[in-house]
Structure 1
Amino acid sequence: MFKPLEPFKELTTLQERINKMFEDVLPSFNLQDSKWLPAVDIYETDGNIQIEVEVPGMNEKDCKVKIEDNTLTISGERKFEKKESKDNYYRIERNYGSFIRSFFLPDNIDKEQIKAKYENGILKVELPKKSEAKPKEIEIAVQKQNKEGL
């Protein structure tokens, strides 16, 4: 019958589309395994769309936020910290390396007012919505017409 409303459809990442393209052509090739992609939450408030990117172990200098046309790109690199010790690692499960995430911006975003801040391992990007143009109401005085048409 009806499909559910998808308010964030325009924010589907470019990376997901590329991954899907490769999965269709080469099912055994998985881009998710080949590079580090931090987890991203996207949600909407009354006046903004918020993007929160998990980047623990990084600082604000390691992250870049760029806008080109209608695409917001978040990139960065988490470097492997080589510890000078005689201990041998048995397992390393943390991800290291560079990442890039791209998001298509809806038309109602005010690109000039986008802000980003880094706090406790989370990069928070605030995308303010444009104020909606309200219809202007104009009152027009109605005059009575006399018998002569004036």
Structure 2
Amino acid sequence: MSTKKRRGNPFRGVLDMMSEMNRISDTMTNLETGAPQTRGYSDAWSPTTDIFARGEDLVIRSELPGVLPEDCEVSFSHGYLTISGERRHDDSDVIYYASERFRGTFRREITLPEGVDEEDIEAQFDDGLLEVVVKDAAEATGPSQITVQSKKKRQ
């Protein structure tokens, strides 16, 4: 009988709920008023992203259709992988009758397991799909449990 070690999900909370709620609210307001959508990094659109293990490696895939490779940036600092960039507007002479795709800046921050170094990370962008591979990071375990103690003695 094999015992499988159950791991917590270190990527729980990848979606920023407040940003998503703001996005929905802004979209509804813009639909009612006809105002154009403008976004900054604090409430930028978020590309759909999958995070999974492939062997010993952690793989992060983000869909970025319509984004040019030179308009996409991947950075790593203090344990956070940041995917950011911009989906540019079409030529200025274009008249839209319907526009449902987000344009402008985007940003996605993902907390990586402890011990990951910059040298462990590789990124490749082809046909609107960004794939970031973090070498040997799939075996990271969830948070450690800390025993809570009390200074008071029970009576």
Measured against the shorter chain, the TM-score band is 0.5 to 0.7
Shift of 1:109: 3.3
* Match in the other structure for 1:147: none
Listed as ranges, the gaps of 5+ residues in structure 1 are: 24-29, 133-150
Aligned counterparts, 1:110-125, within 5 A: 110-125=117-132
Q: How many residues align?
A: 116
Deviations, residues 39-90 of structure 1 (Å, cap 9, x unaligned)? 00111111211000110011211110111111111101001112536xx432
In 1, Cα distance between equivalents of 2:81 and 2:12: 9
Aligned counterparts, 1:31-46, within 5 A: 31-33=22-24, 34=26, 35-46=44-55
Amino acid at match of 1:105: L
* Match in the other structure for 2:98: 91
Aligned 8 A contact 1:44 1:50 in 2: yes
Three-state SS of the structure 2 residue aligned to 1:61 is helix
Shift of 1:11: 5.7
Three-state SS of the structure 2 residue aligned to 1:58 is coil
1:52 counterpart = 2:61: yes
| TM-score (norm. length: structure 1) | 0.66
What RMSD in Å do the two structures reach over aligned CA positions?
2.7
Amino acid at match of 2:13: T
Amino acid at match of 1:121: G
In 1, Cα distance between equivalents of 2:56 and 2:65: 28
Aligned counterparts, 1:1-150, within 5 A: 7-10=8-11, 12-13=13-14, 16=16, 19=18, 30-33=21-24, 34=26, 35-82=44-91, 84=93, 88-129=95-136
Note closer, same or farther for the CA distance 1:39–1:10 as it changes in structure 2 (3 Å cut). closer
| TM-score (norm. length: structure 2) | 0.64
Listed as ranges, the gaps of 5+ residues in structure 2 are: 1-5, 27-43, 140-155
Shift of 1:111: 3.2
Three-state SS of the structure 1 residue aligned to 2:16 is helix
Rg (Cα) greater in structure: 1
Shift of 1:31: 2.4
Note closer, same or farther for the CA distance 1:57–1:37 as it changes in structure 2 (3 Å cut). same
In 2, Cα distance between equivalents of 1:110 and 1:66: 12
| Off by >2 Å, runs of 4+ in structure 1 | 5-13, 31-35, 82-85, 108-111
Three-state SS of the structure 2 residue aligned to 1:115 is strand
